[in-house]
Amino acid sequence: MLEAKPESKFEQWDPMPAESVAVQCSETGVHVEVRQNLLGNNQLIHPADLSLGGCEARRVDSANQLIIYESDLHSCGSQQTMTEDSLIYTFTLIYEPSALANTPILKTSAAMTYIQCYYHRKHNVSSDDVMPAWTPYTATKVAAESFYFSLNLMTDDWKFKRASNQYFLGDVINIEASVSQYNHMPIRLFVDYCVATLEPDMNAEPKYVFIQNLGCLVDSKFTGSKSQFRPRSQDDKLHIQLEAFRFQQQSSDSIYIVCNVRAESISASAVISGESKACSFIDGWRSADANDEACGCCDTGCSGPRTARDVMAVDPMLEGETILGPIEIKM
Mean pLDDT check: name the lowest of 18-22, 157-161, 171-175, 327-331: 18-22
Give the 3-state secondary structure of residue 186. coil
Q: How many residues does the chain have?
A: 331
pLDDT of residue 6: 45
Mean pLDDT check: name the lowest of 24-33, 53-62, 115-124: 115-124
pLDDT of residue 330: 85
> Sorting pLDDT into bands at 50, 70 and 90, what band is 106?
low
Q: How far apart are CA 247 and CA 196, in angstroms?
A: 9
Percent of the chain with pLDDT over 90: 29
Give me the domains of the chain, ranges plus CATH numbers: 13-133 (2.60.40.3210), 134-331 (2.60.40.4100)
Mark 299-319 as b/e (b = at least 16 C-beta within 10 Å).
eeebeeeeeeeebeeeebbbb
pLDDT of residue 315: 40
Span 280-315, pLDDT tens digits: 999 899 999 999 999 999 988 886 544 333 333 334
pLDDT of residue 2: 46
Q: How far apart are CA 316 and CA 181, in angstroms?
A: 12
Q: How far apart are CA 152 and CA 160, in angstroms?
A: 10
Q: How far apart are CA 118 and CA 141, in angstroms?
A: 16
pLDDT of residue 184: 56
Q: Which residues pair with 176 in a beta bridge?
A: 152, 239
Amino acid at 162: R
Give the 3-state secondary structure of residue 69. strand
Find how far residue 106's CA is from the centre of its chain. Answer: 36
Adjacency order of strands within the sheet including 21-25: 21-25, 29-35, 66-72, 59-61
pLDDT of residue 19: 67
Tell me whether strands 66-72 and 111-120 are parallel, antiparallel or unpaired. Answer: unpaired
Find the distance separating the first CA and the last CA of the chain, reported in whole Å. 55
Structure pTM? Answer: 0.56
If one compares 32 and 108, the residue with the highest pLDDT of the two is: 32
> Contact at 8 Å (CB) between 157 and 228?
no
Q: What is the mean pLDDT of residues 139-145?
A: 41
Q: How far apart are CA 33 and CA 246, in angstroms?
A: 33
State the maximum Cα–Cα separation within the chain, in Å, rounded to a whole number.
Answer: 90
pLDDT of residue 110: 73
